[in-house]
């Protein structure tokens, strides 16, 4: 089996790169811009055919949530048209796709964890383009899995954890939003989940057409709780003060509540999910070392 990881220099792609040494029966190829652009259908299709690719884990995405409000064309190109290109290229070789989507397809107007088939209603451009990408996969006939995740962080790339650790060294006080609630997710745990699903499908020979799943770490937090934990585990003496969303204006609106229900992925693939604070501790230890 030969698996292509697109967008491989991002948070998730980098975590997959680190983990694949444990998956010896599979051949992995890692590609990102400028070498392989998912928006260039011809190049993508040629690559997939020439390298006998059987599966793709698509980690490529336009992920700048605020900038997307002003760059909807490029966000659509990557998050929708790029995904459609992967689907169409895989259709020619009967290949499998694991695609990643987001909790931002929901409007946040909920009081209990979102299930996969709850109605979506994105409130920003990023969420809209990611929803279009989901539909490109779901409406196709290829063997595919779409995994929605939330609040991704890693020792790689730029993310909330690394920003807080930096600000924690620079500032004595910091205001962080307490009225947006979700679940932080260590990209390493999502990477393992993607690889486990791939291994499971290979072992069982089960095909799934556009099956939707939710994956985040276990538990619930506001950005305020998340920030406090980062300061504690990172050994920073910076006081975090709770502020409201209205006091921290951003270009994009974000859902107030985006906790995901993960029962389906746990049952179907027998996946065990760590508690968010345990994974955060692991990530911060890694960053420190």
Ligand X SMILES: NC(=O)c1ccc[n+]([C@@H]2O[C@H](COP(=O)([O-])OP(=O)(O)OC[C@H]3O[C@@H](n4cnc5c(N)ncnc54)[C@H](OP(=O)(O)O)[C@@H]3O)[C@@H](O)[C@H]2O)c1
Q: Which residues bind ligand X (CB under 6 A)?
A: 6-7, 9-12, 32-33, 37-39, 59-63, 78, 82, 100, 102, 130, 149-152, 157, 187
Nearest distance from residue 161's CB to ligand X, in Å?
Answer: 11
Q: What is the DSSP string of the chain?
A: -EEEEETTTSHHHHHHHHHGGG-TTSEEEEE-TTT--TT-HHHHHHHHHHTT--EEEE------TTGGGT-HHHHHIIIIIIHHHHHHHHHHHT-EEEEEEEGGGS-S--SSPBPTTSPP---SHHHHHHHHHHHHHHTS-SEEEEEEE-SEE-SSSS-HHHHHHHHHHH-SEEEEE-S-EE--EEHHHHHHHHHHHHHHHHHH----SSEEEE---BS-EEHHHHHHHHHHHHT---EEEEE-GGGS--SS---SB-PBP-HHHHHHH-----BHHHHHHHHHHHHH-
| Minimum CB distance to ligand X smaller for 224 or for 241 | 224
Catalytic, out of 62, 104, 114, 126: 126
Nearest distance from residue 190's CB to ligand X, in Å?
Answer: 7
Q: Which residues pair with 185 in a beta bridge?
A: 152
| Minimum CB distance to ligand X smaller for 47 or for 178 | 47
| Minimum CB distance to ligand X smaller for 167 or for 172 | 167
Nearest distance from residue 79's CB to ligand X, in Å?
Answer: 7
The residue nearest ligand X at its CB is 10
- HSE toward the beta carbon, residue 214, CA cutoff 13 A: 24
Q: What is the DSSP string of 178-204?
A: -S-EE--EEHHHHHHHHHHHHHHHHHH
| Minimum CB distance to ligand X smaller for 60 or for 204 | 60
Nearest distance from residue 221's CB to ligand X, in Å?
Answer: 14
| Minimum CB distance to ligand X smaller for 163 or for 169 | 163
Residue 257 appears among annotated catalytic residues? no
Which amino acids are annotated catalytic? 126
């Amino acid at each position: 089996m030969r698996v292509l990881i697109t967008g491989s220099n991002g948070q998730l792609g980098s975590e997959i790169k680190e983990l694949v040494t444990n998956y010896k029966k599979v051949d992995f190829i890692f590609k990102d811009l400028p070498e392989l652009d998912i928006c260039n259908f011809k190049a993508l299709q040629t690559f997939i055919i020439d390298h006998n690719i059987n599966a793709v884990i698509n980690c490529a995405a336009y992920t700048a949530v605020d900038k997307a409000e002003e760059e909807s064309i490029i966000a659509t190109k990557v998050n929708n048209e790029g995904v459609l290109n992967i689907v169409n290229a895989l259709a020619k070789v009967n290949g499998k796709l694991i695609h990643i989507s987001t909790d931002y397809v929901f409007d946040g107007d909920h009081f209990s964890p979102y299930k996969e088939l709850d109605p979506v209603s994105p409130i920003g451009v990023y969420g809209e383009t990611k929803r279009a990408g989901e539909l490109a996969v779901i409406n196709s006939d290829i063997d595919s899995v779409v995994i929605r995740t939330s609040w991704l962080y890693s020792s790689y790339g730029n993310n909330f954890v690394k920003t807080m650790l930096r600000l924690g060294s620079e500032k004595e006080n910091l205001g962080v939003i307490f009225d947006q609630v979700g679940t932080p997710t260590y990209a390493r745990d999502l990477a393992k989940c993607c690889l486990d699903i791939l291994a499971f499908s290979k072992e069982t020979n089960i095909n799934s057409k556009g099956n939707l799943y939710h994956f985040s770490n276990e538990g619930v937090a506001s950005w305020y709780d998340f920030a406090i934990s980062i300061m504690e585990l990172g050994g920073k003496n910076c006081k975090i003060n709770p502020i409201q969303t209205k006091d921290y204006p951003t270009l994009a609106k974000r859902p107030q509540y985006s906790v995901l229900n993960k029962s389906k992925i746990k049952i179907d693939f027998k996946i065990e999910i760590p508690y968010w604070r345990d994974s955060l501790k692991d990530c911060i230890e890694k960053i420190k070392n």
